[in-house]
Amino acid sequence: MTVLERLRPDHAPALLAFEQENRAYFAASIPDRGDDFFAGFAARHAELLAEQEAGMHHFHVWADGEGAVLGRVNLVGVADGSAELGYRVAERAAGQGLATSGVRRMCALAFAEYGLTALRAKTTVDNAGSRRVLDRAGFVAAGAITLMGKPGLRFTRDLADPRS
């Protein structure tokens, strides 16, 4: 059973393991975080927790019940009742509905707990899995962009609309 948990200091070891184990998998579809991310992970984790405490962002992990991280889902750039949604799932958990259920849960949390009324997201056109997740979670395409030098799409979700 997976649980969506707000990021805490004690998640650091499992989150670092998750990022290291899935580095090549993630780099196949999104920019690599780079060696500095891993070398300075402890300091960056502390910074993220401070930014979360200040209300700038809301970070979450999907935990498997045994302490392993299977994914992340984040709301970044919280301002004016909205934020940008981002997520990633471990290779071993891909294709099992974790992203869809987690994004849906995050939409509910964003509205009920964080008082947000809208979310934004983006992905490359060739990332069919991510586009399916966003569609299933009620996001609608809001325009074309260039993302990582590739054609991409912006998406939005009105959290106050009961139809989405």
| Domains of the chain, earliest start first | 3-116 (3.40.630.30)
Mean pLDDT, range 82-105, rounded to an integer: 94
Give the DSSP H/E element, type plus range, for residue 152.
strand 150-158
> How far apart (Å, rounded) are the C-alpha atoms in residues 89 and 93?
6
Mean pLDDT, range 77-83, rounded to an integer: 97
pLDDT tens, position by position, 8-41: 999 999 999 999 999 999 888 777 788 888 899 9
pLDDT tens, position by position, 137-155: 999 999 999 987 889 999 9
At residue 164, the pLDDT reads 61
The secondary structure of residue 151, as a DSSP letter, is E
**164 is written with which tokens?**
């989405």
Phi, psi of 73 (to 5 degrees): -145, 130
- The mean pLDDT of the chain is 92
Q: Is the pLDDT of residue 1 over 80?
A: no
